[in-house]
Structure 1
Amino acid sequence: MDDTFDPEINGRYYKAVKGFIIARNVRHTWNSGEAVMFISLVEPASRWGRDLWVLLSGREVCFIEELMAVEEIDSILPRGLDAMDETAVAQRVQAFFVKLAKKSPAVPRRKTDDRLGRVISYIDQNLSKNIELAEVANLAHLSSHRFRHLFTEQIGLPFTQYIIWQRLKKSIYAVASGEMTLGEAVENFGFTDQAHFSNTFKKTFGVFPRAFLQSSSIILQVCVKKE
């Protein structure tokens, strides 16, 4: 937020970067020192997820400076953003993503298959349980093979990774909002124990959950109005 940084992405080093959009499963690291970082974890099936996927255009990474002038970024996400209240930060984040979306080529909005809508609702209500692919494929009246391909095609994540993503996301929300302790979230969202949760979190986000929760200000939900 306050300066540029030097990331390493899939073994390549980049200098003086303001920010980037990165595809899933791409290894990346950076050292921001004392600088404030704004990191957004975007659900692939969401409106923003689809817009960002279009902006990537099949690449592993797209640098924000390719899409927006640094002055434009700083006007939306200014210095001192971390000191603002959560509502003000959420509004700024929303404005940033709306601006990014306008840089994306116009593509038809694909309606999610109704069968997958039922499956996603079922997953959301049963995250504490062991959810089998064959079980939800049957719910969608599809073979396991066909369901697996349709799910990945429409949602943007393989079935198993989507469930992991939802469990981690709900856990973060519950702990950050004070609704649950970390132990309660682990128990309620289908993790074997805290070690399982911590290792899954570290593998997904590159940092252990306690360090993440202690060092981060978390925006729990931001809504985008259709224009």
Structure 2
Amino acid sequence: MNFGKPVVLEQRINGHSRIIHSEPSQVGFYQANMSQSFAWDSEVEFLLLYLKPSLLKDLSEAAWGQDKIELVPQLTRFFDPLIVQMGLALKSILETDALGSRIYADSIANALGIHILSRYSSIQKPSKYYKGGLSKQQLKQVLDYMNEHLDRNLSLSELAKVVHLSSYHFAHLFKQSMGISPHQYHIQCRIERAKELLFRRDATIKDIAQVVGFSSQGHLNYHFKRLTGITPKNFLHQ
């Protein structure tokens, strides 16, 4: 993805070279087995995203019941606003909180994979629609697990394994049950736990941020104010 300015690139794929013009927000899509390299002669910003073939296979099985898929061989210099939007979201995670939002990053990767499969593969039918939510037992299991591991950077696949589901299936059913995504729920739980620790007044805000799983005090401050309207410091002085 080109996040910079117009630039002329020398593109070499599977031994064949050509000169191309890349515009801002243009996307290139290449299969994992392609040998490729690029060269340019001016400063430019690109975002490279790599999705494991195993992820696409798992998503295809979960969403369409197909384990054999055929992706388009190669697409160069096309516009796809949804891919750009998800790319920007992942870029923001890496720049602001690379250690603390694994569930969120996994969710975006799944959404990106589903979009690629539905738009740029041999799959023709619509994806499955899961409804009904998690069972009461499944919901209790996963909520307990999340609350017991607030300090950990949990992945979506780890949570899905608790209730023996695919990550794609789990994310859909969790949101139907709770009305919010697993990432949003985990953040809310961390903030509630932070409130309890702030009430005790026996730890610094920085220490509390670490205990409840935030990568920094600034990250705690951001989500605390976003959800409560005030900062942890102001919460202490109420």
Structure whose CA Rg is larger = 2
Q: TM-score range by the shorter chain?
A: 0.3 to 0.5
Q: Greater share of strand residues, 1 or 2?
A: 2
TM-score (norm 1): 0.43
TM-score (norm 2): 0.41
